[in-house]
Amino acid sequence: MPYPYQIDFVRFLRHQQLASATITSYNQSLSEFFSFLTTTNTGFADHPTVNNIFDRDIEAYLTWLTDQQQAKATTINKILSQINRYFQFLFTHHLTTQLPTISIHGPKRDTQAPFQTKWLATLPIILDDAHVHHYTRLTLLLLSKGYTVQEFLQPHFYLTWQSLPATVEHELTFRESFQTFITPLQRRQHSADIFLKQRLDLANPRLTNAALHKYLKKDSQYLGFSISPKVLHQSYILSVLQRESGLSDQQLAAKLMLDPQALQYYQHLLIDLS
């Protein structure tokens, strides 16, 4: 069955460069979730709006999946993650005032995963480590500046990169090293972008999200932590909120490049994790 704001949400997922199969999985999970609500929850069936969905409704659905469908923990966590992303989208796009997933945790949840900060503390060492690929080091540096992977893989992000101030020695040293690495590729691909394929492809020279993750996965084994841009970007935001608790919401939103609704979401998440 169709679900509320499906067209808008699918457009958002495509903008995030998710694969078609992944988007299909989102649609299936959300359709089944709303079908469950419609057939088992008379309160929702009488008023089928996203503001009429609460944490107990999602917990009831996850329990049903576990008890009646014998769904595995990995499946439950995947579905919960998809439902959570859907409600984050609704909340940050002013389509709902509810965040019913914020207090719900899936089975065998790694409570340390969402709030990694060690990478921020060791970033100067990582940037100077020639064993780590330049693309991985650049990714970590940009995440530490508050940019998302969707932002810095966009065409012409090099203009933003060129305008970023580098005032500390380890950043200046890395920028020089990265420029030495990227300049021959830029000339070869006839592109000024900073994430480029190493094989010649003049029609589509920019590195894809999937290709970047291959570099990140390889280096994560060497560095000893998972390099998930989404998780690390979130940990950066949470670390700033924790460290800069004296700033106003307006100052925090500007520093983190978040709109007020997204800022409120992360503030609630920090409270929940604390």
pLDDT 10s digits, 85-136: 999 999 989 898 888 887 777 665 444 444 678 899 999 999 999 999 999 9
| pLDDT on residue 220 | 93
Q: Which residues pair with 196 in a beta bridge?
A: 206
Give the domain-ending residue among 77, 109, 141.
109
Same domain, 69 and 127: no
**pLDDT for 21 beyond 90:** no
Same domain, 151 and 45: no
Same domain, 227 and 121: yes
CA 264 – CA 76 distance, rounded (Å): 26
Same domain, 184 and 219: yes
Region of poorest pLDDT, from 139-148, 196-205, 254-263: 254-263
Same domain, 127 and 83: no
89 exposure class (CB count in 10 Å sphere: 0-12, 13-18, 19+) = middle
Same domain, 119 and 17: no
Same domain, 76 and 39: yes
Same domain, 119 and 82: no
Whether 137 is covered by a domain: the verdict is yes
Give the domain-ending residue among 109, 141, 173.
109
Q: Which domain holds residue 28?
A: 6-109
Amino acid in position 212 = L
Tens of pLDDT, residue by residue over 55-84, are 888 989 998 998 888 888 878 888 988 998
CATH number at residue 24: 1.10.150.130
| pLDDT on residue 115 | 64
Give the domain-ending residue among 109, 138, 164.
109
Whether 255 is covered by a domain: the verdict is no
What percent of the chain is modeled with pLDDT above 90? 55
Whether 243 is covered by a domain: the verdict is no
**pLDDT for 266 beyond 80:** yes
Whether 238 is covered by a domain: the verdict is no
**pLDDT for 190 beyond 90:** yes
Whether 155 is covered by a domain: the verdict is yes
Same domain, 172 and 218: yes
Q: Which residues pair with 206 in a beta bridge?
A: 196
Tens of pLDDT, residue by residue over 194-225, are 999 999 999 999 999 999 999 999 999 899 98
Domain count, the chain: 2
**pLDDT for 52 beyond 50:** yes
Whether 55 is covered by a domain: the verdict is yes
Same domain, 136 and 27: no
Same domain, 122 and 92: no
Confidence band (pLDDT; 50, 70, 90) for 274?
Answer: low
CA 81 – CA 106 distance, rounded (Å): 9
Tell the residue number behind the tokens 């709303």, with chain if given. Answer: 34
150 exposure class (CB count in 10 Å sphere: 0-12, 13-18, 19+) = middle
Whether 251 is covered by a domain: the verdict is no
Cβ pair 174, 127 in contact under 8 A: yes
Whether 216 is covered by a domain: the verdict is yes
Same domain, 119 and 227: yes
